[in-house]
Amino acid sequence: MQSAKVKKVLQNRIQSKDTRTLLFCLLTVFILLTICTKSSFLYPFNDWVDSNCFFTVGKSMLNGKVLYRDIYEQKGPWLYFLHAGAYLISRKTFFGVYLLELCAGTVFLYFAAKTFELYRVRGIYFVLPLMGAAIYASRSFCHGDSVEELVLPIFAVCLYLSERSFCLQKTLAFKEWLTVGALAGIVFWMKFNLAGFFVGWALVPLYKTLRRSGISGVLKAAGAVVLGVLLPTVPVLIYFGAARAFGDLWTAYFYNNLFLYGDASQSNTAGVSAFFQTLWTRIYVHILRNGFYAIPGAFGVLWYTVTRKGHRAHLVLTAVFTVLCVCTGAVCYSYYTLVFAVFSLFFWLAVCKLLSRLPEEPKPKIITSALVLSALIFGGTFAYCTSNNTYLTAYEKDDLPQYKFEKIICSIDDPTLLNYGFLDGGFYTVAGITPESKYFCRLNIQLPEMYEAQETEICAQKPDFVVTRSAPLTFGAYTCVATATQYFEGVDFTYYLYAADRILPELTENGFVQTLDRFEFPEAE
């Protein structure tokens, strides 16, 4: 009876501590992401083209469009499932996406903290804001709402599970392999090349399972992983099976990404030396641009390799496979490398271990709280001063082309719109329009039918409005009714809003095109 009471007291203490840690992680992420992501309420709008693509596709799926068949984008279906949920929360803003990012960030920091706690170290609440600021204020964080940001918590969970098994000197249980499989399935159906992380991650745990349980143990683990992968795969199969769109899934998500994305058709023709030179250049540039977490990440992997006897190869293998899958494609945009930030938590673990070696003297709670508060303040200040996004907080909605054009677009009933010649600029989002065209914008994929379809629709004067960027529209029965300039990723872009000539009388009645006779078209470059 006494033993049961003691066990219950200990469980209550653990639950209380877990709740406190979770709330602290939520507070930390709220501060950092509110400052760093353009999806937050401090910003007038998230103008990142990728995030707007995700949001437009998620919205379109909820409005009857079938992914890949009726609305085209090249990422995986689970990404759009998540953004469809965000659309249900807020239909013309990124508030739902902001909440999604808060959840992802909180889980990421929480499992980083749980990993630290495995080693019984001190200073966890002090280092978490510092680690988070180094990651979320980095160049590779980009604008907010990348796939890489959303998979960080998944990678953190897997690293926690492997570290717990090593610390307890046990092999992973069936339910843990099942969890890893389910997480791997979600990542695979968001951006399949990122699943390379799990290949490197699984090698050492599988080897330990083989040594302790033999082939039967490995087969059991493999079965759990397969079953886990099926859990997020079944909704995908049901969705495309019901729509009879498996062919579209294969073509858009697999074939086109493998052979048509960027310069993929030429990616394997440069030779071995050029391959390694490109790989090294990308790694070097990543470290140079994201030194606040990339250098700690490299030191974290090195520290782990030197100190963790018995499984020192685990983190190296995980990092190597992740690097190879991220940095060896036809292109490697800056936000691709954000996933490497997960390895920086082992640098901060080493910092906590150093702090734990200091003489442990009882300190008043007010001093401990002051230290944690100072870390939060420093982290928030560092994020504001370092993030490339905070310039946009100085703008109002009416300063942005999206909101300027929305007033004109929505002045007619049931307007239709085409984002021509560039990635989704957010005009669909702000105007609350579900695109009618399958190719609702130009994507970074070499697909001739995408360009032909957009040109055909313009020539047929199907959309009421067409938005272009940088270059005016030179064909079709359209008239420019508005222009606006916006700073984006280091460039001042000029956006043009064109109205079909057939709706000009209606716009004139609404008072939007009185000055057309004074409009001067700039010379096309």
Q: How far is CA 40 from CA 43, 86, 98, 100, in A?
A: 6, 13, 6, 11
Residues 6 or more apart from 299 whose CB is under 8 A from it?
Answer: 347, 350
How far does the chain reach from its first CA to its final CA, in angstroms? 84
Same domain, residue pair 313 and 409: no
Closest to 143 (Cα-Cα) out of 421, 418, 377, 425: 425
Same domain, residue pair 219 and 244: yes
Rounded to an integer, what distance in angstroms lies between the CA atom of residue 394 and that of residue 274?
44
Same domain, residue pair 327 and 459: no
Same domain, residue pair 366 and 426: no
Q: Please tell me the pTM assigned to this model.
A: 0.93
Same domain, residue pair 184 and 294: yes
Q: Is residue 524 part of a domain?
A: no
Same domain, residue pair 221 and 255: yes
Query: From edge to edge, which strands make up the β-sheet containing 491-500?
Result: 417-419, 465-469, 491-500, 478-488
Same domain, residue pair 386 and 401: no
Q: How far is CA 318 from CA 70, 198, 220, 301, 315, in A?
A: 37, 7, 22, 10, 5
424 touches 444 (CB < 8 A): no
Q: Is residue 242 part of a domain?
A: yes
Rounded to an integer, what distance in angstroms lies between the CA atom of residue 385 and that of residue 381?
6
Same domain, residue pair 122 and 212: yes
Handedness of CA 156, 194, 53, 47 (dihedral sign): positive
Strand locations in 250-355 (E)? none
Looking at the structure of the chain, the number of domains it has is: 2
- Identify the domain containing residue 403 by its residue range: 397-518
342 touches 149 (CB < 8 A): no
Q: Is residue 98 part of a domain?
A: yes
Q: How far is CA 463 from CA 422, 440, 456, 497, 500, in A?
A: 16, 11, 11, 12, 7
Same domain, residue pair 351 and 416: no
Closest to 481 (Cα-Cα) out of 466, 465, 497, 494: 497
Helix count (H) and strand count (E) of the chain? Answer: 19, 4
pLDDT in tens, the chain (525 residues): 556 665 566 566 667 788 999 999 999 999 999 999 999 999 999 999 999 999 999 999 999 999 999 999 999 999 999 999 999 999 999 999 999 999 999 999 999 999 999 999 999 999 999 999 999 999 999 999 999 999 999 999 999 999 999 999 999 999 999 999 999 999 999 999 999 999 999 999 999 999 999 999 999 999 999 999 999 999 999 999 999 999 999 999 999 999 988 654 444 555 788 888 989 999 999 999 999 999 999 999 999 999 998 899 999 999 999 999 999 888 899 999 999 999 999 999 999 999 888 877 666 778 889 999 999 999 999 999 999 999 999 999 999 999 999 999 999 999 999 999 999 999 999 999 999 999 999 998 889 999 999 999 999 999 999 999 999 999 999 999 999 999 999 999 999 999 999 999 999 888 775 554 433 434 434
